[in-house]
């Protein structure tokens, strides 16, 4: 049996994640993930992969749509492209953390990052996925940011989550 989010709005993301990790597979709570990119085919492929892992995924085509959704409902995790026209991933990251400080954010990009951006990512984001990446890397990053140990700490400590070493030069 799946418990819809509307039946547990009082739980924090930490409590939802703990419930998920302790629940039998048939009674898992869907974790809410906002997936943001300006390329529809990327949104579609990543969304299908994450939904197959029993996560509830909402997609946003671009940063402005993501900001609108962040104001409408809570998310446990936001996965956003860094480079998008208009509202970029840094703005999405900062807005997600400002609106709901417990929200985890993973940035993804195919661009080389300057040192100042790498420092920002290591301080503010909870994870980083350099493009191109496979579904296995995506699932590892999500699991690292949403597992019980990561959520009980102030930030992710897992190697694939918030790893400056994973950042391109």
In angstroms, the Cα distances linking 27 to 1, 65, 103, 110, 165 are 5, 31, 23, 37, 37
Chain centre distance of CA 98:
15
pLDDT at 4: 42
For the chain, report the end-to-end CA distance as a whole number of angstroms. 46
What is the number of domains present in the chain?
1
Q: Is residue 19 part of a domain?
A: no
Residue 1 covered by a domain: no
pTM for the whole thing? Answer: 0.72
Q: Which CATH number belongs to the domain containing residue 84 in this structure?
A: 3.40.50.2300
Residue 30 has what pLDDT? 67
Give me the average pLDDT of each 10-residue run along the chain (169 residues): 40 46 47 95 94 88 98 96 95 96 92 75 87 92 69 40 38
Q: 138 lies in a domain? A: yes
Domain encompassing residue 41: 31-166
Predicted confidence at residue 150, as pLDDT, reads: 38
Q: Is residue 35 part of a domain?
A: yes
Is position 2 within any domain? Answer: no
Burial zone of 117 (CB within 10 Å; 0-12 exposed, 13-18 middle, 19+ buried) = middle
Instruction: Note whether residue 80 is domain-resident.
Output: yes
Does a structural domain hold residue 4?
no
* pLDDT for 3: 36
């Amino acid at each position: 049996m799946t418990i819809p989010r509307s039946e547990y709005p009082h739980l924090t993301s930490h409590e939802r994640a703990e419930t998920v990790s302790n629940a039998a597979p048939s009674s898992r709570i869907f974790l809410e993930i906002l997936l943001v990119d300006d390329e529809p085919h990327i949104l579609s492929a990543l969304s299908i992969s994450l939904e197959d892992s029993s996560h509830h995924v909402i997609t946003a085509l671009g940063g402005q749509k993501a900001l609108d959704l962040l104001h409408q409902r809570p998310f446990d995790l936001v996965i956003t492209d860094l480079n998008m026209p208009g509202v970029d991933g840094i703005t999405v990251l900062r807005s997600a953390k400002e609106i709901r400080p417990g929200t985890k954010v993973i940035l993804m990009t195919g661009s080389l990052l300057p040192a100042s951006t790498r420092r920002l990512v290591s301080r503010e984001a909870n994870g980083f996925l350099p493009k191109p990446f496979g579904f296995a890397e995506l699932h590892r990053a999500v699991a690292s940011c949403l597992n019980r140990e990561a959520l009980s700490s102030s930030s992710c400590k897992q190697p694939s989550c918030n790893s400056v070493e994973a950042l391109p030069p």
